[in-house]
Chain A
C-alpha cells in the first residue's frame, strides 16, 4: 500500500492517566525481547544499567528468559534505520513467544526496574507503545568558539498545525510522574507490543519489498524528513496505535557537550533555583533554621538506629501520656528502633515498611517490654497493606505516626489510608515536615534527593482546615526545634 500517515482524531486529545487509571493486570507470564543496536562501544551507564536490569529481571518475572531474550543488532553500513528494521524482523520471525519488544539504546542509563515499570503502565490494546522519560540533546545556539550550546529536550512530541504546516513539537512542559499520551516519542527506551509491529508489517509492506518500520518518512506539509523514531510513531499513529510516555520512568542519555563559563554560570543559577526549598504556607511555630541545623548535624541519629530528635521523642512521650493509645501504627519501620521505643511507652505497635527490618528477618511479631510489635512488610500506600494494618488495630484506641516515604503524594495517600484509624482524641503525627524547608543538598545528604514535594504538602491538602482534625500547636511550641513542624494533629470527636 502507498505509505501515507495521518494522526487519528482520538490521538489528538492528550490525556494523562495516573497510576490509578492503569491497573496492573496479571502480566507475570508476558515475555519481552530486549533489543539494541550496538557498534564497538557502549556507554558505561548502559552496561552498568543493563547488568542491574538483567539481574532484577532474573530475580522477578524472568521476562527476558526463554521466549524472551536479547537482540543485539550490529550497526552496519545500513546504519541505524536498517539495524532497527532488522531487529524488528528478527523479533517477529524468531521470537514468536515474546509479547513485547523493548528498545534500550546503548548510550542510555536507567533503573533496574525500568522494564517492570513500563510494563505496568503498558497494555496490549490500550497502551501498546509506552516510552520512558528520555531526553535528546538539541543544539541550541553557536557558542562563538566553533561549538554549540545544547539543551536537554524531552522526547515527548505533540502533532501541531500552524497555518499550512504541521509537524511534531516538543512538549516542554510535560506532566511529571504520570502516564501521558502523546503523538510520538523516541526509540531510546520504549516498549512496543508485538501487535503494533505485526500490523505495521501488514500495512506497510508489499511483494518483495521488505517491511519498513523505521524507514524515514517525509513530512507532507514541509517535505522535511522525520527521524527514524518519529517515522515509526507516524506509522503507528496512522494505524490508530496510541503512543504514551511514562514520565515516572527516568533515564539518562550519554552525550558529548562543549562546556564553557556561560554554561557554568547557567548551571549555578539553575542549581540555586533547584536547591531552593519549597517551604509551605502553613504557619510556623518552631525555629526552622535551628531545626535544620539539627538535621545537618545529624542530632536525630541515635546509636540504635532510631532517627528522632530528643525533643520530638519528648513530644511523643507527652501526647502518648495524655491520650493513652492502646496501639500505635507506624509507617516506616527502618531499623525497628522507634517501634521498640513506642512499645516501651506501654503501647502495642503495628509497624509497616516496604523492607523487612534487618534484625527481624524471620519474625512478623515480637514481644517487647510486655507489649507486642507486629511487623507488616509492604508498601504503606497500598490499600491492601493498609487493610492488614486496620485488621491488627480493630477496635482499639489508636495513634498513627507516618514516617516512611516523605514525598508529598505518598504522605497524602498515607493520611487517606491511616487517618481513619486514629481514635477521637488521639494523634496523627506526620513526621519530617522539616524536609519541606531543606535545600536539595541537605535532603540529598539524608537520602531524600529525589523526594517529590514534602509532608507539608500533604498536611496542607488533607489536614489543614479539615474539621475532623485540629493542629496541636502547643506541642509544637514545647521546644524551639522539631523535625515535625505542623506535624501533630488530634482527631476531633
Chain B
C-alpha cells in the first residue's frame, strides 16, 4: 500500500480529475501515493478516456483506484473510500482529502505535509495554502491514518459538502494537532476564486439550501461532539 491515499470523489469532471492525478504525479515527493476516486453510477462521464489521454507521460509512483457506486455526497464518498483504503492489507499511513479542483503546485508537497504532522505531538492534520482561503481554511488536508481510525471518519459525516473543512480546522485547533504550511501550495481552482466556471456540481454543492443544512449539522457537531472528538485526537500517540 502507498504511504499516502488521496481521496477524491468526483462527478462530471473527468478532465479535471485527470489533471489532478497528473499534478499529483508531477509534484509528489519520495513516497508512494494512491489516488482513490469515487464516481457515482449515474455519472456517464468517460473517466477512462480522460485518464488515458492525460496520464501517458506522467511520472510513475502514483496508483489509481476508481470506485463506482450509488450516488452519494462528498463526505459519504470520502468516508467510504477512506474505510476501504484503511481496510487494505497494507494500509496507508496518511490520508488526504483533495477535490478534483485542487492542484498540488509545490514539489514534494506530500512529504512536506507529512513532515508537518510528524512534527506535532502525535497524529493529526496538516494543510497547505490553497491560494484562496490560505490559513483560514483547510480546503485540502492530510490526516494521520490513526486519527481517521479513531474518529471513524475522514470527513464530518453529518455534512454533505460544506463546512467539512471548518470541522477539520476546529478539531485540529481544539486538539492542538493541526499544522499549516504557507509554503506548500495546493491551489484550489474554484469559481469563487475566479479560477473555474460554475458547473452543475458547483451549483449543487454551493446551493443555499446545502449551506443551511450543512451549517446546521456542523453547529450541532461543534456543540455536541467537538470536545469529545478533540480529546480523542489529542489522546492519540504514535
Task: Judge whether A470 and B105 touch: CB under 8 Å.
Answer: yes
Q: In the complex, what's the smallest C-beta–C-beta distance from A323 to chain B, in angstroms?
A: 6
Q: B103, B105, B182: which contacts A318 (Cβ < 8 A)?
A: B182
Q: B107, B135, B187, B193: which contacts A493 (Cβ < 8 A)?
A: B107
Q: A283, A323, A472, A493: which contacts B131 (Cβ < 8 A)?
A: A472
In the complex, A307 has a CB within 8 A of chain B: no
Task: Judge whether B133 and A285 touch: CB under 8 Å.
Answer: no
Bound together, the chains give a CA A492 to CA B129 distance in angstroms of 13
B130 neighbours in A (Cβ, 8 Å): 474
In the complex, B144 has a CB within 8 A of chain A: no
Mask: chain A, 276-300; 1 = CB below 8 Å from B; 0 = not = 0000001101000000000000000
B176 neighbours in A (Cβ, 8 Å): none
In the complex, B106 has a CB within 8 A of chain A: yes
Name the residue among A282, A283, A492 with the largest chain B CB count within 10 angstroms.
A492
Q: Given A318-B182, A322-B183, A425-B185, does the pair A471, B107 have CB atoms closer than 8 Å?
A: no
In the complex, B134 has a CB within 8 A of chain A: yes
Bound together, the chains give a CA A424 to CA B136 distance in angstroms of 23
Task: Judge whether B131 and A474 touch: CB under 8 Å.
Answer: yes
Task: Judge whether B133 and A474 touch: CB under 8 Å.
Answer: yes
In the complex, A389 has a CB within 8 A of chain B: no
Chain B's interface size range is 10 to 19
Q: Given A425-B183, A425-B185, A490-B131, does the pair A473, B193 have CB atoms closer than 8 Å?
A: yes
Interface residues of A in 464-489 (CB under 8 A from B): 470-475, 477-478
Q: B105, B132, B136: which contacts A490 (Cβ < 8 A)?
A: B105
Bound together, the chains give a CA A145 to CA B187 distance in angstroms of 67
In the complex, B60 has a CB within 8 A of chain A: no
Q: A282, A323, A471, A474: which contacts B134 (Cβ < 8 A)?
A: A474
Mask: chain A, 315-335; 1 = CB below 8 Å from B; 0 = not = 000100111100000000000
B-side residues, CB < 8 A to A, are 103, 105-107, 129-136, 182-183, 185, 187, 193-195
B193 neighbours in A (Cβ, 8 Å): 283, 285, 471, 473
Chain A's interface size range is 20 to 34
Q: Which residue of A lies closest to B187 (CB)?
A: A470
A425 neighbours in B (Cβ, 8 Å): 105-107, 183, 185
A283 neighbours in B (Cβ, 8 Å): 193-195
How many residue pairs, one in A and one in B, have C-beta atoms under 8 Å apart? 57
Task: Judge whether A424 and B194 touch: CB under 8 Å.
Answer: no
Q: A285, A321, A470: which contacts B185 (Cβ < 8 A)?
A: A470
Q: Which residue of A lies closest to B193 (CB)?
A: A473
Q: List 5 A-B contacts (CB under 8 A).
A: A323-B183, A425-B105, A473-B132, A473-B195, A474-B131
Q: In the complex, what's the smallest C-beta–C-beta distance from B103 to chain A, in angstroms?
A: 8
A475 neighbours in B (Cβ, 8 Å): 131, 134
Q: In the complex, what's the smallest C-beta–C-beta distance from A468 to chain B, in angstroms?
A: 10
B195 neighbours in A (Cβ, 8 Å): 283, 471, 473
Q: In the complex, what's the smallest C-beta–C-beta distance from B230 to chain A, in angstroms?
A: 26
Name the residue among B103, B135, B185 with the largest chain A CB count within 10 angstroms.
B185
Q: Which 6 pairs from chain A and chain B are nearest by CB? A: A283-B194, A474-B134, A322-B182, A492-B105, A473-B193, A472-B131
Q: In the complex, what's the smallest C-beta–C-beta distance from A364 to chain B, in angstroms?
A: 33
B187 neighbours in A (Cβ, 8 Å): 470
Task: Judge whether A473 and B194 touch: CB under 8 Å.
Answer: yes
Bound together, the chains give a CA A478 to CA B105 distance in angstroms of 21
Bound together, the chains give a CA A324 to CA B182 distance in angstroms of 11
Q: In the complex, what's the smallest C-beta–C-beta distance from B190 to chain A, in angstroms?
A: 9
Q: Which residue of A lies closest to B137 (CB)?
A: A474
Bound together, the chains give a CA A195 to CA B131 distance in angstroms of 62
A492 neighbours in B (Cβ, 8 Å): 105, 185
A474 neighbours in B (Cβ, 8 Å): 129-136
Q: Which residue of B lies closest to A491 (CB)?
A: B105
A324 neighbours in B (Cβ, 8 Å): 183
Q: Given A318-B182, A323-B183, does the pair A470, B131 have CB atoms closer than 8 Å?
A: yes
Bound together, the chains give a CA A323 to CA B131 distance in angstroms of 14
B182 neighbours in A (Cβ, 8 Å): 318, 321-322
B134 neighbours in A (Cβ, 8 Å): 472, 474-475, 477-478
Q: In the complex, what's the smallest C-beta–C-beta distance from A473 to chain B, in angstroms?
A: 5
Task: Judge whether A322 and B194 touch: CB under 8 Å.
Answer: no
Q: In the complex, what's the smallest C-beta–C-beta distance from B131 to chain A, in angstroms?
A: 5
A472 neighbours in B (Cβ, 8 Å): 129, 131, 134
Name the residue among A285, A321, A323, A472 with the largest chain B CB count within 10 angstroms.
A472
A318 neighbours in B (Cβ, 8 Å): 182
Bound together, the chains give a CA A490 to CA B185 distance in angstroms of 9
Q: B106, B135, B183, B194: which contacts A285 (Cβ < 8 A)?
A: B194
Mask: chain A, 442-473; 1 = CB below 8 Å from B; 0 = not = 00000000000000000000000000001111
Q: In the complex, what's the smallest C-beta–C-beta distance from A382 to chain B, in angstroms?
A: 32
Q: In the complex, what's the smallest C-beta–C-beta distance from B61 to chain A, in angstroms?
A: 18
- Other 9 A-B pairs with CB < 8 A, given A283-B194, A283-B195: A285-B193, A318-B182, A425-B106, A425-B107, A470-B185, A471-B195, A475-B131, A477-B134, A492-B185
Bound together, the chains give a CA A490 to CA B183 distance in angstroms of 10
Bound together, the chains give a CA A318 to CA B131 distance in angstroms of 13
Interface residues of A in 244-298 (CB under 8 A from B): 282-283, 285
Bound together, the chains give a CA A471 to CA B194 distance in angstroms of 10
Bound together, the chains give a CA A493 to CA B183 distance in angstroms of 12
Q: Which residue of B lies closest to A425 (CB)?
A: B106
Bound together, the chains give a CA A471 to CA B188 distance in angstroms of 10
Q: In the complex, what's the smallest C-beta–C-beta distance from B123 to chain A, in angstroms?
A: 25
B103 neighbours in A (Cβ, 8 Å): 470
Q: In the complex, what's the smallest C-beta–C-beta distance from B169 to chain A, in angstroms?
A: 14
